[in-house]
Structure 1
Amino acid sequence: MKRNSDIDRNNSGPHENPVEFIISVPPSNRTKEQAWDMLMQAIEGKHAEPARVVTFQPHYKWLLAAASVIILMLVGSLFILNTEYRFETMQAQTLEHTLPDGSVVHLNASSWISYKKSYGWFGRKVRMEGEAYFKVKSGKDRFVVTDTQNQQVVVTGTEFNLISRGNTFELKCFEGTVKVSISGIEPVSVKKGESVTKTDGVLIHSKQSVNDFTKPVWVTHEFVFEEQSLSKVFQQISSFYNIQIRTEGFDPASRYFSGTVPTGKVVDVLDVISLSMGLSYTINPDSTVYTFR
């Protein structure tokens, strides 16, 4: 009897039978499609490229820093240019101010003007309230004055006096031409020697006589009278010095005075009037009432 090992050796050779391998796969709940998808994902994962990491070179960092500085400078410049200069006078105080373009503004008492630091760069715009006399220098941009009620005066180069207090609006043009623009009212052009006043929502345009059309005393620092009645002379002096002037024994509207009197102490001005007209005056104890006889 042959052993199994002998049989195995005798049967070996070029014509031996192939050996079969049996692979046992554990049971699974996945379908063929799911198994195939898992296999493809595993293959793609092996060939996927690693994530790229981008780093900024030093010169890129420098450019970013420079851009940040420029942006901050631009924002800061816009903020600065948008801020305002403001000039204000108190009671019985006047002020003369020269704007960046060379234009001059005279402010009467209890008034103010303001303008942005960008004045002259992006137009010439001024805001105001009270009374101001403007000597506008000619320029490529229009000069615009706006009051607190958004009433505008537009000029290119001229001299004019503007009063804007509450509901009061009055403009006198001494040189050139200006245009008054008020919402809801047709614009009005005002030439030298003309004035415009707003009354009950209507602009009244008029031309005044030479005697009545004089520059404000607080601008020229002198009273200029051309054949004006004493009633008007006393009215101007009373308004300028905030006093009362009374008359006894004569009619001031029937007597006329001509002359130029520098502003100074009120008694110095009244002395000139009294001596020229052959009058005398007395003063009450608190120096608020002056009576001419």
Structure 2
Amino acid sequence: MKEVELINILEKISSDERYTLSFEEEMHLKEAFSHIPLLDEKPGENVLDEMEERLFSKSIIFEKSEKRIIHWRRYLSVAALIAVLFGCGLWIKSMDMKFVTGNNEQLAFVLPDKSEVKLNENSSVEYNKFLFYFNRNIEMKGEAYYVVTKGRKFTVETPTHLISVLGTRFMVSETDRFDVFCYEGKVLVESLDKREKKILTKGRSFGSDKVMQENQPNWVSHKYVFNSAPLVDVLEALEEEYKVSIENKNYYKEFVFTGTFPTNDISLALNIILAPYNMSWEQVQSNKYRIKNN
């Protein structure tokens, strides 16, 4: 169909709101706008009425030779609105944010509401920057520490659980096993299948009834804190932190340790742990150490 013919038809429609298309004009117009999917479908009348009321003050009715009524302008109204919504959807999707860490990497960043997030290694956090202003929802994998500003409900979703807070400090971990640690305020933890549900208060964790003494995760403060802990447990924590193995540690099950050790210097950590017991250590391989009695 020529553009001039299409313009003439549209001018007739705009100049006379009751103008009735001939069958030929109707077919030409339908062909010209055939790229709009809604022209071949008929939405519910309630939807059409609502769209028409919002976008147009009057409707134009076209009549086929078979006397069937087709509300062309309604279809165009709906198509135009859907095009706008589709464009908005693409724009909102472009606001997706994702933060990822690899081996031996940590990352700190601030959310739009000024809440703080610290990611441990091999972890990720995702959220939509635009939608976050309406619903403070994020998705995560791995291990992350949160300092949440007070406000609307703040929700963290993992592959297995949902964690909800209003304003608090907490850590979520899904490394070897799932756990949540509350350092301030209250945290609601529930599994996605609704079989588990627990409210945590300060010093409590989801996977244990033991009261924590730390004010934040060890990997955030870069040091471990122990109070009368079995020496074997302390050495196992050091093994896990530094990804090493320690020989002879099981010989000292009767000892207990109170103190701290750093997470960024294994030599200093071993000296701090073993010095009170008059013990030393030697490195036998790149990732293996042996405890010795002096």
TM-score, normalization by structure 1: 0.66
User: 1:82 corresponds to which residue?
Assistant: 93
Alpha-carbon distance change, 214 to 234 in structure 1, aligned in 2, over 3 angstroms: farther
In 1: Cα distance, 2:256 partner to 2:82 partner: 68
Q: Are the equivalent residues in 2 in contact too, given 1:100–1:119 (CA < 8 A)?
A: no
Write the deviation string for residues 226-245 of structure 1: whole angstroms up to 9, x where unpaired.
22221111111111110011
Residues 214 and 254 from structure 1, CA distance in 2 versus in 1: closer, same or farther, beyond 3 angstroms?
A: farther
In the alignment, does 2:176 pair up with 1:148? no
Distance 1:78 1:259, change over 3 A: same
After TM superposition, give the deviation of residue 77 of structure 1 in Å: 4.1
In the aligned structure 2, how far is the partner of 1:214 from the partner of 1:290?
30
Deviation of 1:70 after TM superposition, in Å, equals 10
Partner Cα separation in structure 1 for residue 89 and residue 179 of structure 2: 35
Task: Give the corresponding residue for 2:243.
Answer: 242
Which residue does 2:201 correspond to in 1? Answer: 191
Query: Runs (4+) of structure 1 moved beyond 3 Å?
Result: 52-56, 68-78
Q: Which amino acid aligns with 2:158?
A: D
Q: Which residue pairs with 1:124 in the alignment? A: 136
Q: Which residue number in structure 2 is paired with residue 254 of structure 1? A: 254
Alignment of 1:87-98 (within 5 A): 87-98=99-110
SS at match of 1:92: coil
* Cα distance in 2 for residues equivalent to 1:134 and 1:207: 21
SS where residue 105 of structure 2 aligns?
coil
Q: Deviations over 1:191-220 (max 9, x none)?
A: 1122223xxxxxxxx421345x66322111
**1:290 match:** 289
| Kept after mapping to 2: 8 A contact 1:113/1:126 | yes
Give distance in 1, aligned partners of 2:91 and 2:252.
56
CA contact (8 A) 1:221 1:263 kept: yes
1:80 and 1:117 in contact (8 A); partners too: no
Partner residue, 1:179: 188
1:221 aligns with 2:211: no
Which has more helix, going by share of residues?
A: 2
Question: Contact 2:242/2:263 (CA < 8 Å) preserved in 1?
Answer: no
Once the two structures are TM-superposed, the CA of residue 73 in structure 1 deviates from its matched residue by: 7.1
Code of the aligned partner of 1:232:
D
Kept after mapping to 1: 8 A contact 2:231/2:256 = yes
Aligned partner of 2:4 in structure 1 is: none
Q: CA deviation at 1:157?
A: 0.7
Q: How many residues align?
A: 217
Quote the Cα distance in structure 1 between the aligned partners of 2:174 and 2:131.
22
Checking the alignment, whether the CA contact within 8 Å between 1:82 and 1:116 is kept in structure 2 is yes
Q: 1:196 and 1:188 mapped to 2: Cα distance? A: 7
- Whole-Å separation in 1 of the counterparts to 2:182 and 2:14: 69
8 Å contact kept, 1:175–1:192: yes
Q: Is the 8 A contact 1:214 1:224 kept in 2?
A: no
What amino acid is aligned across from residue 123 of structure 1 in structure 2?
N
Query: Does the 8 A contact of 2:112 with 2:133 survive in 1?
Result: no
Q: Which runs of 5+ in 1 are unaligned?
A: 1-51, 57-67, 198-205
The alpha-carbon distance between structure 1 residues 165 and 244, as it changes in their structure 2 partners (threshold 3 A), is closer
Aligned twin of 1:22: none
